[in-house]
Amino acid sequence: MKKVTKTEFINFLKKQSETFDIIAPIKGDKGIDYDIITDFDKIIFDHVNTDRSFKRFLFPQSQTLFEFKEGVITEAKKQNKKKFIVGIRNCDINSLKVFDYNFIEKEPVDTFYKELRDNTILITAACPASNSTCFCTSFKIDPLSIGHGDIGILFDKEEDSFYIQGNSSAGKDIVDGLSTKDTSDFDQKKEKYKKNHEKNRDLIKDKNLVEIFQSKLEDEKWGEIFKGCIGCGVCTFYCPTCYCFDIEEQGKFWNGKRVRNWDSCMFPIYSKETTGHNPRPTQKERYRNRVLHKFYYQLKHNNEYGCVGCGRCITNCPTNIDIRNIIKTFI
């Protein structure tokens, strides 16, 4: 582990920008969100979390799978500038377990995701505080951990300094060149930030969700919990672990491309078949599918929750549907 001042860290990022696109949170019109950085002094480190997760850099909202012209298929052009994403919170970095399982571990490998994943250096930052909607501790995520991602950092605002640690071999290589100060006060600092995190946010309390949901597939509560859900895609598009996509053709006749776009299981068309038959005809089934997918199906197959407790779906839902309440209802 190393300790550097803020100026040193910014200079470090500037140096990295020669080989990487630096992506970090900055303040925009709406709020704090990731963007490609040109002005390094604007990067924000002491926020709680960004508006949107960084998933769109590894899994873009639209991605060309291949192009075709006169019936001849060619690979899509790729932008292969490496990325360097700074300031990822521990909740978001855990979403990659879901993505990695779906796109890499499960055969066949999705080359598009893998390529972006391999060409990205992820810097996890310990979370200085928690929002009222945060519940990552339910999923055994430590918000102050710096052990995930390629590099982990902890920003201490008081001293304006960073504790920095390489985790993967690529990360270690990058960190190696930095000079360091005494890091023995790290645990002390971590303890200090721990106080900002409220306790008792654990919703699951070691219960076995697989067993619980297995017996409640047709529970009548499913008919109530989706409440005023209007069926928009906000929760899924904001969710750091939602990976569903739709494939469509763009272009005319024999010239065009095949593109995949984010899709949302909240849309009626998501599972509607050509015959007009829809296996999930109402919002009740769609919502149930979303909840079960996060807390049952993925848990059973991958042994990881499909939710990381970032609270974005709660903050952004126009009708205030709260996934925490839904877990509470069934536990």
Partner 1 sequence: MEVKIKERLSQLFDEQKINCAIIFEKGTMPDKNAPNIIYNKEGLNNLVWNSMNWNNLANYLPKLLGKKIGIVAKGCDSRSIVLLMQEEKVKREDLYIIGINCTGMIDMKKIAKDFGAEISETIFEKDSVKVKGKASEKEYKVKDFLLESCQVCKYPSPVIYDEVLGEQVKGFEGDNYQDITEFEKLSSEERREYFYKELSGCIRCYACRNSCPSCYCQECFVDSNQPKWLEKGQNIDDIFFYHIVRAYHMVGRCVDCGSCQNACPMDINILKLTKKLNKDVRELYKYECGLDPKNTPALSTFEPDDYNEFIK
Partner 2 sequence: MKNTYIPITMEVEKNYFETSDRMIKTLRLKFLDERFDFEPGQFCEFSILGKGEAPFGIASSPFDKAGLEFSINRAGVVTKAIHELRIGEKVGIRGPLGNYYPVKEMEGYNVVVIGGGFAFTTLRSLIEYMLNPERRGKYKSIKVIYGARNPGLLLYKDLLENWEKRDDIGTYFTIDTKVEGWNKMVGFVPTITEEVAPSPENCYAIVCGPPIMIKFTLPVLLKLGFPKDKIVTSLERRMKCGIGKCGRCNLGEFYVCNDGPVFNFEQLEKLPKEV
Chain contacts with partner 1 (rule: CB under 8 A): 29-30, 48, 61-62, 131-133, 227-228, 230-234, 236-238, 246, 248, 250, 259, 261, 264, 267-269, 314-322, 324-325
Is 246 a binding residue for partner 2 by CB under 8 A? The answer is: yes
Could you tell which of partner 2, partner 1, none binds residue 75, using a CB distance below 5 to 8 A set by kind? partner 2
- Amino acid in position 315: T
Letters for 68-87 (x = contact with partner 2 by CB under 8 A, - = none) are x--x-x-x------------
CA dihedral for 212, 217, 218, 220, sign (positive or negative): positive
End-to-end alpha carbon distance in the chain: 40
Is 6 a binding residue for partner 2 by CB under 8 A? The answer is: no
Q: Taking Cα atoms as reference points, which of 4, 6, 42, 7 lies closest to residue 25? A: 42
**Preceding omega of 279 cis (within 30 degrees of 0):** no
Is 226 a binding residue for partner 2 by CB under 8 A? The answer is: no
Q: How far is the CB of 319 from partner 1 (least distance, A)?
A: 5
Q: How far is the CB of 31 from partner 2 (least distance, A)?
A: 28
Letters for 20-49 (x = contact with partner 2 by CB under 8 A, - = none) are ------------------------------
Q: Taking Cα atoms as reference points, which of 184, 207, 228, 245 lies closest to residue 60? A: 245
State the virtual CA torsion across 207, 208, 211, 215 in degrees, nearest 10: 30
- Helix 90-100 vs helix 111-118: angle between axes, to the nearest 10 degrees? 140
Burial (CB < 10 A; 0-12, 13-18, 19+), residue 201, is middle
Is 223 a binding residue for partner 2 by CB under 8 A? The answer is: no
* Count of residues that interact with partner 2, criterion CB under 8 A: 52
Is 256 a binding residue for partner 2 by CB under 8 A? The answer is: yes
Cβ-based nearer residue to partner 1, 33 or 185: 33
Q: How far is the CB of 255 from partner 2 (least distance, A)?
A: 7
Burial (CB < 10 A; 0-12, 13-18, 19+), residue 231, is middle
| Piece in contact with partner 2 (CB under 8 A), picked from 26-34, 61-69, 162-170, 310-318 | 61-69
